[in-house]
Amino acid sequence: MHFMLHIPDGSPTTLEATAKICGLSSLLTGHDVLPNMPGPHGGTGVQIGWPSPTQPRFHFEPEQQDWVPSVLKDEHGRPRYWVGFWKAQPPKENELRRHYTQSGPLVDFGGQRWKLPTPTTIDARAVYADDGSMRWEVVRQFSWVCDEAEQLRQTYLEEFGLRSIVFRNEPSAQINWLLKLLQINYRITPEVAVYLDLWVGKDKILDLFLTTLGLSRVQDG
């Protein structure tokens, strides 16, 4: 089943503004809201779900659910939101997939195959250059992908050894990039990715990260 979100002390009228603070704005499509719902923090708040004919429920039922606090915390160190999962039916790739997706290779994460967009597979349009020839230009909506990829690429070309060592101990920079790419095609949060065990295998994750930048490790021998 699709995961659920609970925002403590939230309400439908403040949801849009709160979602921006929580980094959840891109998830708010096709959702329903339940106000004044009990939550895992012991208080009440707004409950967000993505009901369907096969999964109409998204109420709070702690005996049958796992609730994970958000990585993001407020100024008092409290979770900005909570993510809920039905224990017997964890989310599937097709349940989190957006209606319109960008092209990309199918990559195995957590025993499921996910379509991972890359800077070379996102939508582009043909435009004229100054000399009358034509070239492909990434559509404005996804220009950030190429901009961020180029910055990361230059960083790794200049400091690969150092960055590789850091990755072995603290892989958040690489995983955050892969998560951003996945979020183009899926409603997914950092907490969902970890709950579904998407980030397994140091070498696999590093190689995949480098591949999205058009780089690869030099193999020994």
Give residue for tokens 């994460």. 109
Nearest CA-CA partner of 121 in 100, 142, 152: 142
* Residue 68 pLDDT greater than 50, yes or no: yes
Q: How far is CA 171 from the centre of its chain?
A: 15
What is the SS3 assignment for 14?
helix
Confidence class for position 221, pLDDT limits 50, 70, 90:
very low
Cα distance between residue 127 and residue 125, in whole Å: 6
Residues of the chain above pLDDT 70, percent: 96
pLDDT in tens, 74-105: 999 999 999 999 999 999 999 999 999 999 99
* Residue 47 pLDDT greater than 70, yes or no: yes
Residues facing 92 on adjacent strands: none
What is the SS3 assignment for 8?
strand
Q: Which residues contact 58 (CB under 8 A, 6 or more apart)?
A: 2, 4, 32, 34, 47, 48, 49, 50, 51
